[in-house]
Structure 1
Amino acid sequence: MTSPNSKVYLFIHVITCVKNKEPLLTKPVRTVLFAHIKKHATESGINVLSVNGTEDHMHAVVQMMATQNLAQIMKSIRTESAAWINEGNFIKNHFEWDDSFAALSISPSSVKQVLDYIEKQEEHHKTKTLESELEVFQKIQI
């Protein structure tokens, strides 16, 4: 049982891709989509501190609560946002997120640095590919 006085500081940096890494998220679509994701997440009790990305993927920082699990959070965000895009006809193609995602825990002292990184996604991806970004996960050794 979780006490209402529990203090939980679980910050997760999540990256999820458009199905087949298709470049479907144009700048105008991203602008409305990411605002919608934050709004829907808040309404669903999910604390999304930041969300941004490029044409083929999205980054988010989520502060998890004691009773939440990451798979459920991501399912909620991806299922609802894909339905919202498709129902709103924001793009010509049928939209889907990839089934997988990558996630890294963030120490509370590094949250601001990761938020800054996510804010600058378009600038970052002028020089780095998504693949090079995801290589970080391959290099993690415990």
Structure 2
Amino acid sequence: MSQSLVKNYIHIVFSTKYRNDFIDEKIEKELYTYIATLCKDFESYALQIGGTDDHIHILCRLSRKIALMKLVQEIKAHSSKWIKTKGEKYENFFWQNGYGAFSVGEKDVQMITNYIKNQRQHHQKQDFKTEFIEILEKHKIDYDEKYIWD
């Protein structure tokens, strides 16, 4: 084959350090737009970004030219620097060290898009820790809970 053909949808989830509430509704749209631009810069186009005060979800089409780990590292580094310029409230902003990333099949893209779009409503009924554990279990990922919440 003379060309590389790739279409990988990835659902990325990560939280603020110590799950501190930083991503309020005042800043979230601008933050999500900034992150979408970062994804585009790395040819990993964001289909949907959403979250709550303490975490975000990104559904993107991962480029064949960048490793997932590198994309997440770049998103976190650049967005963390950016958010710290948005006022005194955000000066101590940091993302957590780790992240979750999950493959999404073509038939599930719309369902995950809607799920991410409705995060604020979803989290009126369920906290982030419960949500994240459910995602890990759905994807049959082995984990040690003491290492997830550092």
TM-score by length of 2: 0.85
Flag the 1:122–1:90 CA change in 2: closer, same or farther, 3 A.
farther
The whole-number CA distance in structure 2 between the counterparts of 1:106 and 1:139 is 12
User: Do the aligned partners of residues 88 and 65 (structure 1) sit closer, same or farther apart at CA in structure 2, a change above 3 Å counting?
Assistant: same
What amino acid sits opposite 2:127 in the alignment? T
Give the superposition deviation at 1:43: 2.7
- Give deviations 1:44-67, integer Å, cap 9, x for gaps: 323111111000000001211222
Structure 1: any 5+ residue segments left out of the alignment?
A: none
SS state of the match for residue 12, structure 2?
strand
* Match in the other structure for 2:101: 103
Offset, 1:115:
0.4
Offset of residue 82 of structure 1: 0.4
Residue aligning to 1:74 = 72
Q: How many residues align?
A: 140
| Identity level (%) | 23
Q: Which residue of 2 aligns with 1:41?
A: 39
Richer in strand (by share): 1
Q: TM-score, normalised by structure 1?
A: 0.89
Give unpaired runs (5+ residues) of structure 2: 142-150
Partner AA of 1:95 in structure 2 = F
SS in 2 for 1:60: strand
Question: Runs ≥4 in structure 1, deviation > 3 angstroms?
Answer: 138-142
**Secondary structure at 1:91 match in 2:** helix
Q: Could you tell me which residue of structure 2 aligns to residue 91 of structure 1?
A: 89
Q: Residue 86 and residue 63 in structure 1: after superposition, are their counterparts in 2 closer, same or farther (change >3 A)?
A: same
Secondary structure of 2:64 counterpart: coil
| Deviation string, structure 1 residues 36-89 (Cα, Å, up to 9, x no partner) | 111232133231111110000000012112222111000011100000011232
Aligned mates of 1:62, 1:139 — CA distance in 2: 19
